[in-house]
Amino acid sequence: MSLEMLLVIAFGGAFLTYLLGKLSPVLRDILAVLLTLVILAIVALFYGRTGESSFMNFLGFNLSLRINTLSWLFAIAVATLGSLSTIFSLSYMKGKERLDFYYLMMLIVNASMLGIVFSGDLISFYVFWEIMSWGTFLLISYNRGPALAAGLKYIVMSIVGSTAYLLGMFSLYASYSTFNIADIASRISTASPGYLLSVLVLFSITFGIKNALVPLHTWLPDAHSEAPSPFSAVLSGILIKMGTYGFVISMYVLVGIKALSHLGHGILSFHFMLAILAAVTILVPTFIALMQDDAKRVLAWSSIAQVGYIILGIAIGTSLGFAGGMFHFLNHASFKALLFMAIGAVEYRTGTRDLNSLGGIIKKMPFTFMMTLIGALGLIGFPLTNGFVSKWLIYKTLILGKDPFLAFVALFGTWGTILYAYKILHNIFMGQLPEEYKGVEEAPFSMKFPMVILSIIIILFGILPGIPLKVINVIGVSLGFKSLAVNIWGIASDTGALNTINIFSAILVSWIVVWLIFKAAPTSLRVEQDNNYAAGSYVPTGRYLYTANFYAPVYRIIKPYVIDVVDIFYMALAGAVRTLCDWTRRMYTGELGSYVMYIMLFLAVLITMRLGFNIW
Amino acid sequence: MKLAEFIISPILAFIIGIFLMGLSRRIMARIHRRYGPPLMQPVIDLVKLFSQRTVSHGPIFDIGVILSLAGTIALILFIPFGGMCPLEASGGLLVILYIMLFAPLGLALSGGEGANPNISIGISRKFILSLGYEVPFILIVLAVMTYYHTISAVDVVKAQSSFHWALFSLPLFLPGLAYILIIPAMLGIRPFDLASAPQEISSGPMAEYGGKYLALAEIEHAFSIFITIALFVDMFLGGSGNVVYFFLKVLVVFIIGLLINAVFPRFRTEQAVKFLWKWPSVMALAGLVIVLAI
Amino acid sequence: MAERELELIFGPQHLGMVGNLSISLNVEGDTILSARVNPGYLHRGFEKLMEYRNWIQNFPLVCRINMIESEPVEMVYAMAVESLAGIEVPERAHYIRTMIQEMSRLSCHLTAAWAYTSILGFDTPAQWAMGDRDYLLDLFEELTGARVYHIYNMPGGVRRDLPEGFEDKLLAFLDAVAGRLPDYNSTFFENRLFFERASGIGKISAQDAVALGGTGQVLRGCGIKHDIRKLEPYAAYGDMDFEIPTREGGDAFSRVLVIRDEMVQSVSILKQCIEKMPSGKVYEKTPNPFKWKIPKGETYVRVESARGEFGLYLVSNGGNRPYRAHFKTPSFVHGLVILEKLLQGANIADVGNIMLSLYVIAPEIDR
Amino acid sequence: MDKLVGLLKGIFKDTDGESLGKNRLRVTAPRGSVLAVLDYLKASGFYQLKSISCVDWMDENEFELVYHVASMESPLHLMVKTRIARDNATFPTAIPIFKNAGIFEREIHELFGVEFEGNPDLAPLFLENWKEIPPFRKDFNMREYVKETYDSIPSFEEYQWQKEN
Amino acid sequence: MDRNNLIKWLKEPKKMGNKYSLWAVYFSTACGVIEVPPVLTSRWDAERFGIIPVATPRQANLFLITGYVTTKTLKAIIRTYEQMAEPKYTIGFGSCPINGGMYWDSYNTIKHLDKYIPVDGWIAGCMPRPEAIFIGVTKLWGMIDKGLATGYIRYRENYDYYRGNQEKLFGSMEWPPLYTLKEGTNDG
């Protein structure tokens, strides 16, 4: 099976599904699931393959597809999440309108993501990138109303990103007259640091927007909360990671470690700046997430913060940090998708995801609770989940790299994460069950199944982190990092090793001991929720649940400091642009002379910029 | 030998923790100008609690409290203690930092199913407080790890052998003091007992606990007294290869902490967080800067 | 977004509740939106019970209206009966009454100090205060035979004269308490954390305090010099030289400090009592209680209890039992009106703090 | 004191004032002018409503409402009294004049059954599930009630004896 | 700890634990509570015997019903008592819960507490002195030793009687029965 065939199946299947939907919705559903499963199987079979093939000649440029371990890792994540979210969609989307369109877009976005990771040159990368962006836009605004506004916000920022990408791409072409990534990479080491930096900055804008790196994140909270839940899982789980892929490609494939290390030194180096940006991305969104009342908005802000960890690991640029960042990308894909699906299941059953009005759902949806719990534990980075290992790697890198302040931000962000993760768990599942949710049922099988798979991944990679770490180590080595001493249970090292098996068995044994003690004591009486301490009174119905303003004291402390300054800035900017446009209308005088003058001015600016690059 | 440590160190920790609990009640009584309970009182309480028949609110109510104690017991195995550290090569201080999460998270989950707003408020306060004390605590741990350039607790202890105690070294003096300031917050005792403030929210997370649940929570508290102080002894007082010396060091630190908390009332939540983000954090930060500068 | 309000029930079975009272708090986050005090857990219908008992039988009854400080209640009832029946009280009885009033005030303030400190979590001064109060109860026991309910005041005076050597014991106690004051100051009143917990909490303006019917510490904490002992001296207070301590803040901190200063004044009044104590008989004989009828009439008498103005409106229809008695207790207004007002917008951590700084004692509300 | 009585009599024709010993003044006013009197008193320095008492004069089939008002500076204490009919007793509320009047009225409403018009909160204060006539009325026989309610409940010994036989 | 005690501890740890660790519900039912703070604080120091006040009924095993009980309080007492962990002990404190005491004719206080909840021991007097509380507690110890403090078992076994009496007084109760009622008893 070749890469071209895969993409043909992926895109063709998507359109076939759309057409089949006109005939029979059931067949459409089956085909969509089958298609994603087939893609998953094919991608899985690609494991270990490397190679590049040209598939098309476009205006004289050779467009090529390429596979290596790096793209395989991303592709398998795409394919897994794609199939799971499609299965999840089956019951979640049931009864909604324009379903053919929904499935078409889902499958096309998946296919385009596969296209991105398998692209061997900048042009096909760009084409797939645009398909993905527009498909995402259509899916985000699927629900219309506020969703349309969120989608517009997304696509405007996406276009800005694409423009930056095009600038970078053409600039590279101008220098090396090829679009092929591998060709550019082999020649770029001779370029001046200033030029490299400018290209990197341009690409960083593109990928930073997709990756929702502060200060380019503002599209994400709206988009995540407005999109349909299965797509939110894809969006947060893998789609924004295309930005991560872009960062890896531009930093370590295009430019390469060696050239990268020459870009400035100490605090003023490129990757240190990126790391600081990542630290800000961890810190601020974590606390904004804490203050949200909509479950999906909490998760959306949390996605931004977690992306911060990924970029932090990758930006630091040691083999341990790179491994941590890459592993965290996988982990984030698993637990954030799981969380979005679980919230989706709750929303599907109760009709709301408002953290203030839910409560006590654990009595009705214990399975969904367990899944949310596992997802939340992974998010926190609880020992025995995969999030722990990746965060441990990142922390260790930072501490031993003498960056304790970045480490502090990362660790502190984790404690913020605990707060909002528990808030989600508590406000949805814990506490008293309100009257109106007495009739809620457990999620259907097609929702349970993807959640189970994801939770198994979380636990498995948490106890045996060696499985993904070995793959990541291969990638790292291929990119020129030092090889790590990876075992199946973690990492051996002189400065503090990690052994998850030890942790697992210690906790298991002490669990058994405590459980035996617990069992030896008299059995306790199971009581209803209204048999509860209320200072001697009977529990008032429906008014005995603490959810609103869950962390009120913290809110009061942080509220003056934690505001989305960036969003406010962009909004002000948008307002200013509108005024500016009103003003510029007056420039269209209709006289040829003035237009000529504008063009001259513009050229002058361009020339100055060009000169500026050279001087730098 | 190694295998025996797995059994001995939790049991010793339990004995020391329970002894410290009894001792603290006794010392507090003397400060109150009264006689105080027998030293064995915590054990008597535990015996009684385990014999009681109480109520449960659901499976997570049980699992949470078991998880919290299990995590704490597992944590003991990672802490160098009198020459023993059964799981020394399994992640070091970073893992300790994370396994310390088991106890509050387990209690929070268990209490959450208890479906009582007092519990929820208590948990919310507990997490807020932990957000408060983790700032100085992380800074302190980072200062220690950066100074000794290792994340392994055993190596930190080794580096302080032959009386090169970190508390009396220039860079780590301030973090050491900061740690003493945050010990009551980490243990949730006065003046930082706002999570379980009985006069405000009816003992918060414990409100629905009785019998064995309370007993497990008490044991967990005994362990965490030991762990918190043992970490201090390991990081700043050079640990000890001898259990008796180690115990003496723990005792001294504990009594100093006790005298502080005898005369202070409870903070309000915001005041506690502001205090913790102010003095201990500034001290720890100063220590970290000095460590980096050297 | 729908905001969910929580109804948090504070009391009666609650460590933060001193007395048997229930407050249901409407909470969002940790802020109280509104509070509703739910009294009645101690309602025995005293005023109704009094209508079924004759004038003397009511003495053991009325003192139980306030368990913490029974003296002012006895006093006010005795004064009301005396005023209706036109009985003159001997001078020495006035002094003894003054003395026992002040002892009772001291004991009540120490209880309040215990309650207030233990709610804030000051275990140490709480334990000390309660321990010190017990020595005062010993003195009460020697004087009256009971620790709590003394039934010492009678119409026409007090039940019995001071036992021998009582003055010395009282003086020794007063010196001991005054000697403890620095300890209390350093651990409690001058503790920085006490200031942080109490200042600005439960703030009420002087106008509101008057308009809502506040008395005692509530007024004096707002800087209003209002004290029945000065305004309308009863017993032997006219002969005593003392000051009315006031503070300007109007918050819990000021009210608690006023309580402390009042204790200092009480000690001084007690010392003056012992100094100036005249000799003579301690009670005026009254008729056979079963045949005692009091002429038709009505009266309102008031004393300054530890918590503020304690009044009794007593109506006689010429029979051998009261026709109607109505107590004006300080906690009634403090607990039902001012407390509800001050709890609005307060933090849930401060419920007990505000309640006890207002000196709310549940049985006084319920009667 | 006499001056005040004179003043009051000058403004409100049907009021009557009488001194009751030192510092006590009883002002009797008919139902219609009580609130006006209170309003006037408040304006002339009697800021504080201490309490409202209610006396059940069953023989005359009247309730007597006594408003205790006092000033902060002078020791003078005024009792403003009025009589209202006992059957279906209603009276306008004094909340507009004295903010704390509501709670006293709530108490009287529960214990005597006087309906205060305009008082928004007349919920039961002390009693729960009270089904009898208001307990402080003179025609409520307390001892009879106690016998019926509490003494009729069997003791544990009686119950066991019943069970065995 | 002398040898006798040690043997007892080894033989019957449950009983000994329950004896020496009486945790009291903090419920100021009525005026009797004014003698409880002195007992708990430095003059009398009940913590010597393991008696401490605790916050919620779930944690407690000793219920001191201090003084007269009004109907409103009785409801709270029953609720609190039912929420306590077993084994649990109640002590009626003062004259009023025994037979109404001086409120024998009050319309709002119940006269015999043991008609509504089981009471293991009584301390008479108004007020009982702190010493009396200690005597009461030692009596309770003796009862625990001999296995006589079985109020909670009596409550469970005769729940229909107690619940019936409670419902007679309150009309209907908000919360469902704690134990299942036996047949044909819940009609009063």
Residue-level pLDDT at A261? 72
Please check the confidence at residue E4 and state whether its pLDDT lies above 80. no
- CA dist., res. B56 & res. A577, Å (int): 61
**pLDDT tens digits for range D10-64:** 777 777 777 777 788 888 888 888 888 888 888 887 888 888 888 888 888 888 8
In chain B, the residue whose alpha carbon lies closest to the alpha carbon of E19 is B48
**pLDDT tens digits for range B106-117:** 888 888 888 888
In chain A, the residue whose alpha carbon lies closest to the alpha carbon of C21 is A535
SS3 for D52? strand
CA angle C35, C37, C43 (to 5 degrees): 175
> How far apart are the CA of C304 and the nearest CA of chain D, in angstroms?
13
Q: Supply E124's token pair.
A: 């008479």
Q: DSSP label at C185?
A: I
Residue A536 and residue E79: Cβ atoms within 8 Å? yes
Cα dist. B172→A391, B96, B157, B166, B280 in Å? Answer: 26, 20, 14, 6, 13
Question: Per mean pLDDT, which range of C72-76, D114-118, E15-19 is the poorest?
Answer: E15-19
Best mutation target, E16, E56, E156, to test chain B (most B CBs within 10 A)? E56
The ipTM of this complex is 0.86
For residue C189, the chain B residues in CB contact (below 8 A) are none
Beta strands in A530-572 (DSSP E): none
Domain assignment present for residue C84? The answer is yes
Best mutation target, E56, E58, E59, to test chain A (most A CBs within 10 A)? E56
Q: Which of A90, A65, A52, A80 shows the shortest CA–CA distance to A8?
A: A65
In chain B, the residue whose alpha carbon lies closest to the alpha carbon of A373 is B109
Best mutation target, B35, B118, B201, to test chain C (most C CBs within 10 A)? B201
**pLDDT tens digits for range A526-560:** 888 778 888 888 887 777 878 777 888 888 887 77
Task: Label residues A559-582 b or e (16+ Cβ within 10 Å = b).
Answer: eeebebeebeebeeeeeeeeeeee
Q: How far is CA E88 from the centre of its chain?
A: 8
List, in sequence order, the alpha helices (H) in chain D.
2-11, 34-43, 101-112, 142-149, 156-164
CA angle A236, A239, A245 (to 5 degrees): 120
E76 interfaces chain A, CB cutoff of 8 Å: yes
Measured between its terminal Cα atoms, the distance across chain D in Å is 75
Domain assignment present for residue C345? The answer is no
A532 interfaces chain C, CB cutoff of 8 Å: no
**pLDDT tens digits for range C307-351:** 888 888 888 888 888 888 888 888 888 888 888 888 888 888 888
Residues in CB range of B34: below 8 A, 6 or more apart: C127, C131, E41, E42, E43, E45, E47, E48
In chain C, the residue whose alpha carbon lies closest to the alpha carbon of E101 is C61
pLDDT band at A615 (very low <50, low <70, confident <90, very high): very low
Smallest Cβ distance to A533: which of E56, E77, E175? E56
Residue C161 has φ and ψ, to the nearest 5°, of -75, 170
Q: Which residues share a beta bridge with C298? A: C315
Please check the confidence at residue C1 and state whether its pLDDT lies above 50. no
- CA dist., res. A375 & res. A369, Å (int): 10
Tell the residue number behind the tokens 């010429």, with chain if given: C318
Q: For all residues of chain D together, what is the average pLDDT?
A: 82
Please check the confidence at residue E184 and state whether its pLDDT lies above 50. no
Please check the confidence at residue A586 and state whether its pLDDT lies above 80. no
Q: Please identify among residues 195-234 of chain B the ones whose CB lies closer than 8 Å to any CB of chain E.
A: 198, 202-203, 206-211, 214
C-alpha dihedral over A283, A285, A288, A290, to 10 degrees?
-80
**pLDDT tens digits for range A262-279:** 776 666 777 788 888 888
Residue-level pLDDT at A534? 83
A293 interfaces chain C, CB cutoff of 8 Å: yes
- How many inter-chain contacts (A to B, CB under 8 Å) are there? 236
In chain E, the residue whose alpha carbon lies closest to the alpha carbon of A533 is E56
Q: Which residues share a beta bridge with C26? A: C7, C34
Range of the domain at B85: 2-293
- CA dist., res. E153 & res. A481, Å (int): 72
- CA dist., res. A341 & res. A88, Å (int): 8
Determine contact, residues A153/A127, Cβ cutoff 8 Å.
no
Cα dist. D31→D36, D37, D118 in Å? Answer: 10, 11, 16
Residue-level pLDDT at C2? 45
Domain assignment present for residue C317? The answer is no
E153 interfaces chain B, CB cutoff of 8 Å: no
Residue E102 and residue C64: Cβ atoms within 8 Å? yes
What percentage of chain C exceeds 90 in pLDDT?
A: 0
C-alpha dihedral over C299, C303, C309, C310, to 10 degrees?
-60
For residue C123, the chain B residues in CB contact (below 8 A) are 28, 32, 190, 262
Residue A502 and residue B67: Cβ atoms within 8 Å? no
For residue C34, the chain A residues in CB contact (below 8 A) are none
B192 interfaces chain A, CB cutoff of 8 Å: no
Question: Per mean pLDDT, which range of A149-153, A570-574, B30-34 is the poorest?
Answer: A570-574
C-alpha dihedral sign at C26, C31, C34, C37:
positive
Count of domains observed in chain C: 1
Residue C121 and residue B34: Cβ atoms within 8 Å? no
- CA dist., res. B96 & res. B102, Å (int): 10
Q: How far is CA A381 from the centre of its chain?
A: 16
Residue-level pLDDT at C26? 86
Count of domains observed in chain B: 1
Residue-level pLDDT at E187? 39
Contacts 24+ apart (CB under 8 A), B278-282: B279/B178, B279/B181, B280/B133, B280/B136, B280/B178, B280/B179, B280/B181, B280/B182, B281/B135, B281/B136, B281/B139, B281/B178
3-state secondary structure A477-493: HHCCCCCCCEECCEECC
Smallest Cβ distance to A537: which of E27, E58, E79? E79
Q: Please identify among residues 385-424 of chain A the ones whose CB lies closer than 8 Å to any CB of chain B.
A: 388, 392, 395-396, 399-400, 402, 404-405, 407-408, 411-412, 415-416, 418-419, 422
A511 interfaces chain E, CB cutoff of 8 Å: no
Residue A431 has φ and ψ, to the nearest 5°, of 80, -165
Q: Supply A431's token pair.
A: 């506490």
**pLDDT tens digits for range A473-526:** 888 888 878 877 777 777 777 666 777 777 888 888 888 888 888 888 888 888
**pLDDT tens digits for range A425-458:** 888 888 888 888 888 888 888 888 888 988 998 8
The domains found in chain E, sorted by start residue, are 12-170 (3.40.50.12280)
Range of the domain at C145: 58-296+350-366
Best mutation target, C46, C61, C66, C67, to test chain E (most E CBs within 10 A)? C67
pLDDT band at D123 (very low <50, low <70, confident <90, very high): confident
Q: Which of A221, A218, A213, A220 shows the shortest CA–CA distance to A275?
A: A213
**pLDDT tens digits for range B55-74:** 888 888 888 888 888 888 88
For residue B271, the chain C residues in CB contact (below 8 A) are 196-197
Whether the bond between B191 and the residue before it is cis, its omega within 30 degrees of 0, is yes
Please check the confidence at residue A376 and state whether its pLDDT lies above 80. yes
The domains found in chain D, sorted by start residue, are 2-126 (3.30.460.80)
**pLDDT tens digits for range A304-315:** 888 888 888 888
Boundaries of every domain in chain A = 1-187, 264-524, 566-615
pLDDT band at E188 (very low <50, low <70, confident <90, very high): very low
CATH code at C115?
1.10.645.10
Burial class of residue C340, CB neighbours in 10 A (0-12, 13-18, 19+): middle
Best mutation target, E73, E107, E157, E167, to test chain D (most D CBs within 10 A)? E107
Determine contact, residues A486/A475, Cβ cutoff 8 Å.
no
Domain assignment present for residue C104? The answer is yes
> How far apart are the CA of E106 and the nearest CA of chain C, in angstroms?
6
Half-sphere exposure at residue B217, Cβ-oriented, CA atoms within 13 angstroms:
27
**Percentage helix, strand, coil for chain B under 3-state DSSP, each rounded to 5:** 75, 0, 25
Q: Quickly count helices (H) and strands (E) in chain B.
A: 12, 1
Q: Supply A383's token pair.
A: 């020992």
Determine contact, residues B227/B76, Cβ cutoff 8 Å.
yes
Q: How big is chain B, counted in residues? A: 294
Residue E114 and residue D154: Cβ atoms within 8 Å? no
Q: DSSP label at E181?
A: P
Cα dist. A252→A204, A242, A476, A480, C202 in Å? Answer: 13, 15, 10, 9, 62
> How far apart are the CA of B245 and the nearest CA of chain E, in angstroms?
28
Smallest Cβ distance to B44: which of E17, E54, E58? E17
